[in-house]
Every structure is written in structure tokens, then in C-alpha cells.
A and B are shown apart, each in its own frame.
Chain A
Amino acid sequence: MVEDLKVRLLHALEQNHRIATKTLALMLNVEETKIQEIINELEDVKVILGYVTLIDWEKTGHNDKVTAMIDVQVTPQRDVGFDVIAARISRFPEVKSVYLMSGGYDLSVMVEGTSLKQVAFFVSEKLATLENVQSTATHFVLKKYKQNGIIFDDHKKDHRLVISP
């Protein structure tokens, strides 16, 4: 029951973390204090890791960021496999995400910088030189169409009549 409530709460927050606890309480049919209690607990145990905002920087005219997806091949280490090297790569603030992949390479690393040069420099100087990193292939992002399930230019509009039977 509580487990079920937790899952429903997480689904709701995943879609929109700005929903007021008051609203969540009404939606999920429990007391507001209970909602707050569960959220606190989920934050404490790091099930909820953070709340981020998805921004279309292109629209602001202040888009001075360059993003690249980098395919990294590494030599797994005895006992710890990919975890230690992945953790190490994750520590760089330039690195926005790190995933272990199946297929032709091992780690997919997303890097953000202020220029092509800066990103390229980071890859050649910091990433490629790490022990156990065998090779890298850098792909720069040219345009974002959809992220986190949200389409950037969705032109979403309610076409319904104000009142209908």
C-alpha cells in the first residue's frame, strides 16, 4: 500500500515536480503531511536525487553551450568492471551524463562546454588520457528535438471548444 503510494507519487513528481504537496495530497487521497513525509524520506535515501528544469536555451538567445556525445571504449578492471572508471569520468563537472552501454563501445558520455574547442580539448586532454580508456569518438549535438520525453517545438495547443456536451 505504502509502496504503491510511493510509486504513484514518484510518477507524478517525475512528470512535474512543481505540483504543490497540497495538490498531490488531493490527487493521491492522503494527508498532506504524509506526502511531505514520504518525499523527505525518498530524498534522504537518495531515491529522489534532484529536481531539474528542462530549458530551451535556443529560445533565450543566450545559448552559449556546446554539447557532445562521446563513445568511449575502456578496458574493464578486475573485480570492479566498469564502475571505477565510470565513477572517475563522472566526477568531471564538464560531464553531464555517463551511461554503460551494450554494443560497439562501453560508455556513453555527454559533455557540455562553451565551445567546440573547449570540448575537444577536454576529450583529448582529460578523457582520452585516462588509464583504461582505449578510444573515444566524439559526436557534437547540432540541434535538440526532444529531451526527457518532451518535444521542444511541440506547438501543443488545446483545440477543444470551451464547453461541449
Chain B
Amino acid sequence: MSRSFVKKSMVTLPASGIRKFFDMANTIRGVISLGVGEPDFVTPWHIREASVYALEKGYTNYTSNCGLEELRREISNYLLRRYQVEYDYTGEIIVTVGASEAIDIALRSVLDPGDEVIIPEPCFVSYKPCTVMAGGVFKTIPTREEDYFKLKPEDLEKAITPNSKVLLMSYPNNPTGTIMTGRELEQIARIAKEHDLLVITDEIYSELTYTGNHVSIASIPGMKERTILINGFSKSYAMTGWRIGYVAAPEEIAVAMLKIHQYTIMCAPVMGQMAAVEALKNGMEAVNKMTEQYDQRRNLIVNGLRRIGLPCFEPKGAFYAFPSIKETGLSSREFCENLLYEEKVAVVPGDAFGRCGEGYIRCSYAASVEQISEALDRMERFVRQNAACLKTSGMAT
């Protein structure tokens, strides 16, 4: 027998909790899925067309490591126009292979062994593993439904230790759909300054807010120098498959990130970058149209979930609802598995996004109105059936 060649820490690193569930859902036919973390829209045609045109003109080469100058300039303009943050396109912006790569290089360029990263949960699945792979240690903060899953300043303060270096957060949030207002972010910013923390803010859902404008923590005075801002095209422009995102940071950090990026990635694909330029130049109308659709589906799913007896706070961003299933007496996993097998509706167990997500499920409303309505009907039947079982088993004991 030969020895295992795999690095020890990779053996112990857990695989994504979503993966297992995916394998299960994938074997069943006729599933209506509210389990998808990406838009159901296809990339707007004018953006696809720009990429086709780029290919026809022979843009098949590398770009500069940090991305096409035109794209970085558009990103810089966009960030200033939409979120009042100023980044120099010549040294503070890097175009990445999705926000995913941006998260990775941000953590790898700032963490020394043992540095602590504070992560409010529930959160996107890559934050903890990326922290570990970068040699850091994560410290999670559970958030609560009664606080709309927002990060509370007092919880943040309690989590800080002398080793704390980074606060990694994402609003609008996946999986809860919660947002943080400017005022709430100011309190977080004050603590970050007080304890000399760096904030890595993943704002990939920034365009998908429904009750007012998104505020970036980087726009709060004194924060830009201690913030790494991550954003991208996947969600707002329905461009998940293109793999284009970006990261903006003070030059010193950007230089460090660019080293990792240039040695491991070289550059993001040029056709995607050309499409992203078109998205930023002329994509706002399409974004607004999609947001309008999401907003109506958001009402549909939240009202619908409440009606069938699954309490759900109002998610003000992204495209997820995060209802409580505690009253069913089932765990998140049981709920999702039974729902999948009995009614062929796929949703994601909340605990895949952190332990405090137990008792909740993530329902994506990046699905058509017909699909959402049908899924709600099936879930209603499931919840009723389950309640009836609960009652009879309760009588038996």
C-alpha cells in the first residue's frame, strides 16, 4: 500500500455541506428547485453580444494581470457613482475570477498563521474553508432571527481577541437575505477602527436590494484604508458562468493580492472582461428590470411561506428567503430531505451556512413565478401532512 499523498489539512477540511444535498437532489426527476444560488435569468443579450463581438474581433489573448484598463476604469466609475467610494483604477482594483477568487486572495494576502478572522453566521460556504486554507483561524458569530440576522455591535465586540485581525462579512446576505443599513454599518465601523480590524466586505448582492440603496462600509469615513471591497457580475448581471468579479483595496494590500493573482491565475478571461465592460456601460436598465421581477417574487415567496405557517422575516436583499421550520419539529436536514423525497421540492438546509442556521431553510426565489407558486403548494401539503403526523405521534406518547 502506498502512503496518502494528500496534505493532512486537506483531509480534515470538510467538503461543502451543500454538495451532499446536491448529489441527493440530482438523482430525482421532476424536482422544482428553490435551491439555486444563481439568477434564473440568462445574461442580458447585449452583454452576451459584446462578448461574441470580442471573439469575432480576435480578443483571445491574456490581459494585464489586474485586468483590462477599460474595465478597471468602468469599475472605478461605478463604485464612485453607486456607492460613493473612490478607488484608483491604476493601483487599487484587480479583476478576478469571480468574487470567489477575490475572497481567497484577500484572505491569503493578509493572514499570518494564527490570525483570527471573525465571521458572522449564517454565511456563504467558502469563508471558513478559505480562512483555514490561508492559514488563519475563524471565529464565528451566530446571528439571530429576532435581530433579522444582522451583525450586532455588542456581539462583535465580545468576539474580538488580541489575535483578531479581520472581520469578514457579506450584506445583502446569502443565505438570509438580510441587509445592513448605513447607520448599522457605522457602529460596526467604529468597532473596527477601535480594535484596528481589517474589514473584508463581500458585496456581491449589492444591486439586489429592494427597500432603499445599498451602503458599502468602505464609504464610511476612515474605513477605506481598512477595507477590502469585493464585488462582481455574477448576481446583479446574471453572469455566474462568466467568472468575473473584482476586488478593490488600498494600494499596499492590492499589491500583495496582485502577486497571488498573477502567479496563480495570470488574469481573468478576456471575453468575460469584455462582456463586463458592456455590463457596466449599458447594463443598468436590464439590472433594474430583473430587480423588479425579483422584488415581486420576493413578496410572493415571503407572503406564501407565512401563509402556510412557516414564519419568515422580510429579506431586503439578495434572492433568498430564510423561513423558520422549527415548528415542524424537524431538523433542517430532515425537513429538506423529506420535502425533496415526498414533494420533490429542493431547498437548502440552513445549517449548511453555519450552525445557527439550524431550524431554517434557504429558499431561493431566483425561479419563475409559476415554479415558486407550485413549490409553495407542494410545501403547504408537506407542512400539513407533517403537522398531522406530529399530532398523532404526540397522542401516542
Contacts and interface: CB of A to CB of B under 8 A. Distances in A.
B299 A164 contact: no
Given A19-B369, A28-B296, A162 B26 contact: yes
B40 A29 contact: no
Contacts of B246: none
A160 B31 contact: no
A164 B38 contact: yes
A12 interface: yes
Given A163-B33, A163-B35, A165-B18, A27 B299 contact: yes
A165 B22 CA distance: 10
B135 interface: no
A27 B296 contact: yes
Given A16-B369, A29-B303, A162 B37 contact: no
B124 A165 contact: yes
A70 to B, nearest CB: 31
Contacts of B370: 16, 19
Interface residues of B, number: 29
Nearest to A12: B296
A39 to B, nearest CB: 16
Contacts of B36: 160-164
A27 B300 contact: yes
Interface residues of A, number: 17
B22 A26 contact: no
Given A23-B369, A163-B21, A164-B22, A28 B299 contact: yes
A163 B348 contact: yes
Given A23-B373, A27-B296, A163 B22 contact: yes
A13 to B, nearest CB: 12
A10 to B, nearest CB: 13
Contact of A162 (B35, B174, B300, B307): B35
Interface in B32-62: 33, 35-38, 40
Contacts of B107: none
Given A19-B369, A163-B22, A164-B18, A26 B346 contact: no
Interface in A1-39: 8, 12, 16, 19-20, 23, 26-29
B229 interface: no
A93 to B, nearest CB: 34
A158 B41 CA distance: 9
A163 B296 contact: no
Contacts of B124: 165
25 contacts: A12-B296, A16-B370, A19-B369, A20-B373, A23-B369, A23-B373, A26-B300, A26-B303, A27-B296, A27-B300, A27-B369, A158-B40, A160-B36, A160-B40, A161-B22, A162-B22, A162-B25, A162-B26, A162-B35, A162-B36, A163-B348, A164-B35, A164-B38, A165-B124, A165-B125
Interface of B: 16, 18, 21-22, 25-26, 31, 33, 35-38, 40, 124-126, 174, 296-297, 299-300, 303-304, 307, 346, 348, 369-370, 373
Task: Please provide the 6 A-B residue pairs with the shortest distance between their CB atoms, ordered closest to farther.
Answer: A163-B35, A163-B22, A26-B303, A27-B296, A27-B300, A162-B25
